[in-house]
């Protein structure tokens, strides 16, 4: 079984935040692949279903970002899943808005949700689906930036990226992360750019 985790903060006031794009990604997968209703379990909201015939569990921790690992660890332990069976979708400030990269293992790079995941029972070897949201330009602005909603001008690329993550999910379910990354960027192309510069949008 595959455990697909979206990182974010629970509650309506955080729903549109950049920090919640992980929640948005697994919600898009649930819609696209006809997952069952969201239920409360493992200190999280979960939805069960299949992606291209592969059993999958979608999980949105309700512990707040800094404690995400508690919920993920509970679910992974219950289903006896090891790190390679866990994929985490989250916001990445070191990627330009709309960029997408897969990665396995490594450090937290300052992301508190990932830090909590690494500290959990599954360790650091899980698969990471990094959704670029850009960087505000100065370190002291990061906290406010990620806890702010996407600007109206950003909604188009956000929706395209989320849709691409959902449509390409069969490749993820087969364990082909490189092809998944390529297909997401084919479906939602984004110009290479400095993450510290906002993505230009047409009026």
- So which residues are the catalytic ones? 19
Tokens of 104: 């396995």
Decide: helix, strand or coil at residue 41: strand
In sequence order, the β-bridge partners of residue 45 are 40, 60
Q: CA end-to-end span of the chain, whole Å?
A: 44
C-alpha to C-alpha distances, 148 to 22, 91, 131, 142, nearest whole angstrom: 15, 12, 16, 10
Residue 111 φ then ψ, to 5°: -90, 115
In sequence order, the β-bridge partners of residue 127 are 87, 104
Q: Which residues of 155-188 are buried (b: 16+ CB within 10 A; e: fewer)?
A: eebbebbbbbbbbbbbbbbeeebeebbebbbebb
Tell me how crowded residue 53 is: count the other CB atoms within 10 A of its CB. Answer: 8
């Amino acid at each position: 079984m595959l455990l697909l985790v979206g990182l974010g903060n629970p509650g309506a006031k955080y729903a549109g935040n950049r920090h919640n794009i992980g929640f948005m990604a697994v919600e898009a997968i649930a819609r696209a692949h006809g997952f069952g209703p969201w239920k409360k379990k493992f200190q999280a909201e979960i939805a069960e279903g299949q992606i291209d015939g592969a059993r999958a569990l979608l999980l949105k921790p309700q512990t707040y970002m800094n404690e995400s690992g508690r919920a993920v660890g509970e679910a992974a332990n219950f289903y006896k899943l090891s790190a390679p069976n866990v994929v985490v979708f989250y916001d990445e400030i070191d990627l330009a808005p709309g960029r997408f990269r897969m990665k396995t293992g490594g450090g937290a790079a300052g992301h508190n949700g990932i830090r909590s995941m690494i500290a959990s029972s599954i360790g650091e070897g899980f698969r990471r689906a990094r959704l670029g949201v850009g960087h505000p330009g100065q370190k002291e602005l990061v906290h406010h930036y990620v806890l702010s909603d996407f600007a109206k001008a950003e909604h188009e690329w956000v929706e395209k990226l989320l849709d691409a993550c959902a449509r390409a999910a069969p490749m993820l379910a087969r364990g082909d992360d490189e092809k998944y990354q390529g297909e997401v960027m084919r479906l939602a192309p984004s110009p290479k750019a400095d993450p510290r510069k906002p993505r230009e949008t047409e009026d």
